[in-house]
Structure 1
Amino acid sequence: MIKFRKKVLVFLLIVLVSANVTSQNTRSNITESDKKIENKKKKKRNKKAKLPKIDLSHWKVTLPVANEKNRPYEIDPPEILDFANNEIAKPYMYIDSTKGSIVFHAMPTDSKTKNTKYTRSELREQMVPGDNNVNWTFKQGGTMKGKMQMEEVTKDSDGKYHRVIIMQIHGRLTNEQRDLIGEDDNNAPPILKIYWDKGKIRVKSKVLKNINATEPEILHEDAWDDDDGFNFEQEVGFKKFTLEVRVSEGKMLIILNNTEYKSYESIHIAKWGVFENYFKAGNYFQSRDEGAFAKVNFYELEVSH
């Protein structure tokens, strides 16, 4: 009887030890699993949002929505530095922190700038923050560099993607030139328009209708015409690409992805030296089709003079 009791006690002891080991292993396994899950959560929480490499201190933006005066809504520096918290701007200019870009979103609306039928979500350079009256000439020179990507764009009734102007150099009359030719504003033609055109990059410039024209004749917008345009060979599609625009006295150079170049150096560029200029970048959407829109990502944008 004593032997039997001893055997029962030994058996119970073995069962208890086994159960305790199993319990410890189970707890150990659960703990390891929990640790892995918790570490993943921590990594996710600690993962920093990507931000675009763009200083907006010297840019204002025009958006495809009207202000209280029924004109395109604009945000100047320093307010533009807080555009991400601007409720009016949010649908048209916002940060994509997963990509590290500013997204410029434009579509047809009734809010258009003067002398155009198209709308824009586009930056305008301001050499002096908040002031449109200080600009630069080709003699002074300048460089604009950007990294961008077409995120999304609609197609027309023929199944072709709508075009978008992504960079510009726009001309501007000084107040004296404006008064000299009797204009009511300082607007002058754009000497450079760079298009995202069905997946390729297309460049348009201006030429004088009469190369013998002199000032003040060349100050009039109708003294200038569009050139035939130039298409870069490589297709950028919906991939990231870089553009650089360099201007100096009598010369304009456009560089795509550091591999293809288009140079303008002619009597037309030389005569353009009479104008002041400013850079533009973003989404100047080239369609009035119902339901059409485009979204353009800008990852980097830098200007120097």
Structure 2
Amino acid sequence: MKYISKFYIVFLAMLSLTLQVSCQKKNADNLSFFENYQNENLDNQTSNEDVFKLPNIDLSHWKVTLPVGKPTEVYPPEILSYATNETLKPFFYNDSINGALVLYAYPNSSTANSSYSRCELRELMNPPNNDKNWTFAQGGRMKGTLSMGAISKDAAGKYHKTIIMQIHGRLTNAQRDLIGAKDNNAPPMLKIYWENGRVRIKTKVLKNLNATETEMLHEEAWDDDEGYTIPIDVGFEKFTLEVIVSEGKMEVILNDTFSVMYDSIHIKKWGIFENYFKAGNYLTTLDKDAFANVKYYELEVSH
């Protein structure tokens, strides 16, 4: 019995030692697994952070008009916090995967001089004021990289259209008072549409080339030209648009290669107006359930 007891004690001691070694190995394996898992998670997190992108747009010289309110307009510096602004978030937000600023619009509120809704940026040379603008003689350039994110179709199955860039005219206070206008609004010299997957350009022409300078200040003195559609499909892909203006000239360039030049007498006559650039999503339909979202990846203006 003594021999058996001694043997049993030795056996238990060896078993205990084996279990301790086994547990230590298992704990080491678990620690190694946890460390590997943690490292993989950190790698994945870093990879995901690398995927997140922001648009290359300085909003400090822009205000935005929303398709709600009377309508609602948001100026700098408030617009700079658009990512957390509850008023802006439904219409003006980041696509952080593709690095775009999304501008969403649907038929709802419109400005005083339009029937259509928009989510559209308006250039401000002296933010937050609208009073400083530019003439063609002073010149200007706007360049944007953008794409159509999504857009509704009409009853016939055709895509709705939206204005993605503008040069808008503006009366000076002196011009406004001279013709007795109710505000400083003047016609848009340039409207660039996304229309059925292509870029369409419309400009203004003077109805009477012999009109006096005062007569030319009236909106009804101007008419739309017949328009021009650039014969290149952009569809829902990313593309670049550039607008360059100088005295008596206006040029629209698609993808740095296709140029449309305007240098007629109508452009020269337009020199009496001040102007400002606009960019975004000005949805030109009142159809129920219509919508569009336009994505801007880059947008810059210089004078």
- Give the TM-score, by structure 2 length: 0.89
The alpha carbon displacement at 1:77 in A equals 1.1
The alpha carbon displacement at 1:39 in A equals 2.9
Gap runs ≥5 in structure 2: 1-9
SS of residue matched to 1:277 = strand
SS of residue matched to 2:260 = strand
Residue 63 (structure 2) pairs with residue 64 (structure 1): no
Return structure 1 stretches of 4+ with deviation > 4 angstroms.
Answer: 20-24, 26-36
Give the equivalent residue in structure 2 for 1:102. Answer: 101
Give the equivalent residue in structure 2 for 1:229. Answer: 227
The alpha carbon displacement at 1:271 in A equals 0.3
SS of residue matched to 2:83 = helix
1:1-305 paired onto structure 2 within 5 Å = 24=25, 34-46=34-46, 47-48=49-50, 49-66=52-69, 71-109=70-108, 111-305=109-303
Residue deviations 1:83-113 (CA, integer Å, cap 9, x gap): 222111110101121121111000011x210
State the one-letter code of the partner of 1:192: L
State the one-letter code of the partner of 2:116: Y
Give the equivalent residue in structure 2 for 1:5. Answer: none
Give me the whole-angstrom Cα distance separating, in 1, the residues matched to 2:88 and 2:149.
18
In structure 2, relative to structure 1, the CA distance for the partners of 1:155 and 1:21 (3 Å cut) is: same
The alpha carbon displacement at 1:210 in A equals 1.0
SS of residue matched to 2:272 = coil
The alpha carbon displacement at 1:122 in A equals 0.4
Gap runs ≥5 in structure 1: 1-8
Give me the whole-angstrom Cα distance separating, in 2, the residues matched to 1:126 and 1:43.
43
Instruction: Let me know the Cα RMSD of the aligned residues.
Output: 2.4
Give me the whole-angstrom Cα distance separating, in 2, the residues matched to 1:87 and 1:117.
25
Residue deviations 1:17-36 (CA, integer Å, cap 9, x gap): 8xx79995x77776665455
The alpha carbon displacement at 1:131 in A equals 0.8
Identity between Structure 1 and Structure 2 (%)? 58
In structure 2, relative to structure 1, the CA distance for the partners of 1:33 and 1:156 (3 Å cut) is: farther
SS of residue matched to 1:98 = coil
Give me the whole-angstrom Cα distance separating, in 1, the residues matched to 2:197 and 2:300.
23
Give me the whole-angstrom Cα distance separating, in 2, the residues matched to 1:239 and 1:23.
58
The alpha carbon displacement at 1:37 in A equals 3.7
Give me the whole-angstrom Cα distance separating, in 2, the residues matched to 1:150 and 1:32.
48
- Give the TM-score, by structure 1 length: 0.88
Give me the whole-angstrom Cα distance separating, in 1, the residues matched to 2:192 and 2:118.
14
State the one-letter code of the partner of 1:136: W
In structure 2, relative to structure 1, the CA distance for the partners of 1:30 and 1:242 (3 Å cut) is: farther
The alpha carbon displacement at 1:41 in A equals 2.0
